[in-house]
Amino acid sequence: MNYQRFVSAVREGIRHSVKADVDVQIQTVVKNNGIERRGLTFQEKEINISPTIYLEEYYEQFQRGESMDEIIRHILELYYEVRFRKSWEMDYLKDYEAVRERAVMKLINREQNMSLLKGIPYVSYLDFAVVFYILLSTKENESATVTITNDHLRYWGVEKEELYEDAMKNSPHLLPCTIKTMKQAVAEMLGTDAPENDVDNMYIVSNETKNLGASCILYPHVMEKVYERIGENFYILPSSIHEVIVIPESKSPMRPQLDCMIQEVNETQVEEEEVLSSHAYYYSHKEGRIFL
């Protein structure tokens, strides 16, 4: 069964398993880095925000031998976990003052998203683009958001510079930065006790939700805090749009080796839509900034 037929079959199975007032539609969405993903959108009557569940991973499970019934069961379990049970008051999005304190930012690759950037406000930083969204709700590894477009700015009568200033102020408050050693991060992931006063050669910088946390490198004083913790200049490895890895300069391989390592990880470990960059960056404490 090819992917197109798989998607149609899943949709039909889901439609027979949900209430009659839930409309299940196939949707193709252009994600970060121009990646197209196909998913199922669940629209419930009288609820104006609907989850989309993407199907590529489920197709891989199907190809590995998982039954269609099991896949449909897993999708339904996820739907009932993430579905919205009430409407968002979307009228408040018409007033910038109502959403000003929820405006936050994320980092994406500028070159890989030129088509997307034609329709949304952004600020260039190194070879990244800083883009903006309204944070509706948040929990670990996921959030409900609305991307801010050029149309929003025109409607609000707000300049990009004002939006950037607000996002720089809000993001550290709504999405606080975390700086952990690799050992601490792994222990947390495994549910084991994290070592106290741990010294490591690799540090992970992200936000508390672990979602779109690479933008923490823009937060005021974060790079200085990293420097104070490790005591020297460092390289920044763009692990994904969700986090970056920091390596002290004295413990780091040569720059070409770092770049090769990043490229290999991007190709083998990171989803295409989550790739941030293909090379390392360098933080100089003396200069107080990050360099390409």
In this structure, the answer to whether residues 195 and 236 fall within a common structural domain is yes
pLDDT on residue 88: 53
pLDDT on residue 81: 79
In this predicted structure, the answer to whether residue 150 has a pLDDT above a threshold of 60 is: yes
List, for residues 157-204, the tens digit of each pLDDT value.
999 999 999 999 999 999 999 999 988 888 777 777 766 666 678 999
In this structure, the answer to whether residues 106 and 198 fall within a common structural domain is no
In this structure, the answer to whether residues 146 and 187 fall within a common structural domain is no
- Per-residue CA distances from 110 to 57, 114, 228, 248 (Å): 26, 6, 30, 26
Q: How far apart are CA 289 and CA 283, in angstroms?
A: 6
In this structure, the answer to whether residues 238 and 144 fall within a common structural domain is no
In this structure, the answer to whether residues 76 and 104 fall within a common structural domain is no
Q: How far apart are CA 169 and CA 105, in angstroms?
A: 10
Q: How far apart are CA 76 and CA 185, in angstroms?
A: 31
| SS3 state at 58 | helix
In this structure, the answer to whether residues 34 and 100 fall within a common structural domain is no
Q: How far apart are CA 263 and CA 36, in angstroms?
A: 21
Span of 107-121, 131-145, 235-249, 273-287 with lowest mean pLDDT: 131-145
Decide which of 155, 173, 191 is a domain's last residue.
173
Looking at the structure of the chain, the number of domains it has is: 3
Closest CA to 53 of 117, 96, 10: 10
239: domain range? 177-291
Place of tokens 């413990």: 251
List, for residues 79-102, the tens digit of each pLDDT value.
887 676 655 555 667 889 989 999
Query: What is the overall mean pLDDT for the chain?
Result: 89
Closest CA to 32 of 65, 54, 64, 5: 54
Q: How far apart are CA 61 and CA 153, in angstroms?
A: 42
* 281-284/234-240 β-pairing: antiparallel
Element (H, E) at 114: helix 114-117
How far, rounded to the nearest angstrom, does the alpha carbon of residue 170 sit from its chain's CA centroid? 17
In this structure, the answer to whether residues 165 and 187 fall within a common structural domain is no
Q: At what angle do helices 56-63 and 68-82 cross, to 10 degrees?
A: 150
Indicate the pTM of the whole model. Answer: 0.81
pLDDT on residue 31: 85
In this structure, the answer to whether residues 23 and 102 fall within a common structural domain is no
In this structure, the answer to whether residues 50 and 151 fall within a common structural domain is no
Decide which of 123, 148, 173 is a domain's last residue.
173
Read off the pLDDT band of 252 (50, 70, 90).
Answer: very high
Decide which of 132, 153, 173 is a domain's last residue.
173
What six digits make up the tokens of 160? 């990009």
pLDDT on residue 199: 66
Once rounded to an integer, what is the mean pLDDT over residues 28-37? 87
pLDDT on residue 52: 83
pLDDT on residue 186: 80
Any idea what DSSP says for residue 213? G
In this structure, the answer to whether residues 101 and 12 fall within a common structural domain is no
Closest CA to 75 of 129, 33, 15: 15
Q: Which residues lie below 8 Å from residue 268, measured CB to CB, with a gap of 6+?
A: none
In this structure, the answer to whether residues 168 and 192 fall within a common structural domain is no
Q: How far apart are CA 203 and CA 180, in angstroms?
A: 5
In this structure, the answer to whether residues 193 and 282 fall within a common structural domain is yes
